[in-house]
């Protein structure tokens, strides 16, 4: 309500040249040009992952925000394509501004001391495919019983079910869900993990994957866009719908030493192609273009 009422009045009072909306929605009535960032269109691609009472708000606000904004910034080419397909917008209205990566992860690559655990950084939501990950890890543990799994991220809609599945699979002592943790602890997990696994079924970008590459972790991820475009061959890819394929990927990134060395070297090189400075420049350029279009 504040965004739709107080924010446009503040824009009028401040005589803004343009407004940047960094998270999907925009004031539907605004006195200045707007640039709105779209991180994904999951509510269109996978409506089954949304609660019934949330969907109407996503459908209404995102549709109209996309149409009243002067320009849209998509965080990946895949999200840009979704905007054009689902909202039937002119191509000139959508630009891609890729996310960057925290430079601290490159420093992590230089001080890694791997321990026998796999790391996943992910909110506990249904589309993250963590139930498939747990079942695949149970199979993996039969071959590599000394390994643990750490799934670090905010406890979302699937938290209760995932804890129950972990216990049902007999993994209580080998799978940790530490929840949301301070950034310094995240760096330490990347420094200590043996490898990184990212089994998601849908992403608008996939920042944890990029961070793992920058940190020099041997990494395996879902063979979906935009993850394949981000990895650029620097990660082992698998079908997220095939739990046997996830298990096999775990085995390869834990015991195939030539592959592990290749991925650890290729990851930082690939991640270096993504920077927040480039993202900021693309955003500033979009704001300037929006202002010119309003002249």
Helix (H, G, I), strand (E, B) or coil at 56: helix
DSSP β-bridge partners for residue 199: none
Q: Note whether 186 and 179 are within 8 A (CB).
A: no
Whether cis (ω within 30° of 0) applies to the bond prior to 226 is: yes
Sheet holding 236-238, edge to edge: 175-179, 148-152, 117-121, 195-198, 219-222, 236-238
**Dist. CA 7–CA 12, nearest whole Å:** 9
CA–CA separation, 57 and 62 (whole Å): 8
In 3D space, the residue among 35, 127, 162, 51 whose CA is nearest the CA of residue 27 turns out to be 35
Instruction: Identify the pLDDT of residue 295.
Output: 54
Q: Tell me the C-alpha distance between 263 and 214, whole Å.
A: 11
Give the relative orientation of helices 77-87 and 55-68 as an angle to the nearest 10 degrees.
Answer: 90
Distance CA 206, CA 67 (A): 26
Contacts of 48 (CB under 8 A, 6+ apart): 126
Please list, in sequence order, all residues whose beta carbon lies within 8 angstroms of the beta carbon of residue 171, skipping any fewer than 6 positions away.
134, 137, 138, 141, 149
Residue 239 burial (10 A CB sphere; 0-12, 13-18, 19+):
middle
Instruction: Write down the pLDDT at residue 157.
Output: 79
The answer to whether 195 touches 255, Cβ cutoff 8 Å, is no
Query: Helix, strand or coil for residue 5?
Result: coil
**Predicted confidence pLDDT, tens digits, the chain (295 residues):** 999 999 999 999 999 999 999 999 999 999 999 999 999 999 999 998 888 888 999 999 999 999 999 999 999 999 999 999 999 999 999 999 999 999 999 999 999 999 999 999 999 999 999 999 999 999 999 999 999 999 999 997 788 999 999 999 999 999 999 999 999 999 999 999 999 999 999 999 999 999 999 999 999 999 999 999 999 999 999 999 999 999 999 999 999 999 999 999 999 999 999 999 999 999 999 999 999 876 5
At 162 the pLDDT is: 94
Residue of 224, 180, 183, 209 whose CA lies nearest to 274: 209
Burial class (CB in 10 A: 0-12, 13-18, 19+), 136: buried
């Amino acid at each position: 309500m504040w965004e739709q009422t107080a924010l446009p009045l503040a824009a009028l009072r401040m005589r803004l040249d343009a407004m940047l909306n960094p998270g999907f929605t925009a004031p539907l009535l605004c006195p200045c040009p707007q640039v709105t960032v779209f991180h994904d269109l999951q509510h269109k691609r996978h409506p089954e992952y949304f609660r019934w009472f949330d969907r109407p708000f996503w459908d209404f606000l995102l549709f109209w925000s996309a149409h009243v904004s002067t320009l849209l910034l998509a965080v990946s080419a895949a999200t840009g394509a979704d905007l054009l397909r689902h909202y039937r917008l002119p191509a000139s209205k959508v630009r891609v501004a890729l996310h960057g990566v925290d430079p601290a992860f490159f420093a992590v690559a230089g001080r890694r001391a791997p321990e026998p655990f796999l790391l996943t950084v992910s909110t506990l939501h249904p589309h993250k495919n963590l139930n498939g990950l747990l079942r695949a890890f149970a199979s993996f543990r039969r071959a590599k019983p000394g390994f643990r799994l750490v799934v670090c991220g905010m406890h979302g809609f699937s938290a209760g079910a995932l804890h129950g599945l972990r216990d049902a699979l007999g993994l209580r002592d080998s799978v940790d869900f530490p929840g949301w943790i301070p950034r310094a602890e995240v760096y330490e997990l990347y420094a200590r993990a043996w490898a990184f696994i990212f089994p998601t079924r849908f992403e608008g970008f996939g920042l944890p994957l990029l961070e793992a590459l920058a940190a020099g972790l041997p990494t395996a991820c879902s063979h979906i866009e935009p993850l394949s475009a981000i990895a650029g061959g620097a990660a082992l890819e698998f079908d997220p719908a095939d739990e046997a394929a996830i298990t096999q990927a775990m085995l390869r990134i834990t015991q195939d030493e030539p592959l592990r060395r290749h991925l650890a070297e290729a990851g930082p090189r690939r991640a270096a192609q993504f920077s927040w400075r480039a993202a900021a420049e693309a955003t500033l350029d979009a704001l300037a273009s929006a202002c010119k279009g309003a002249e």
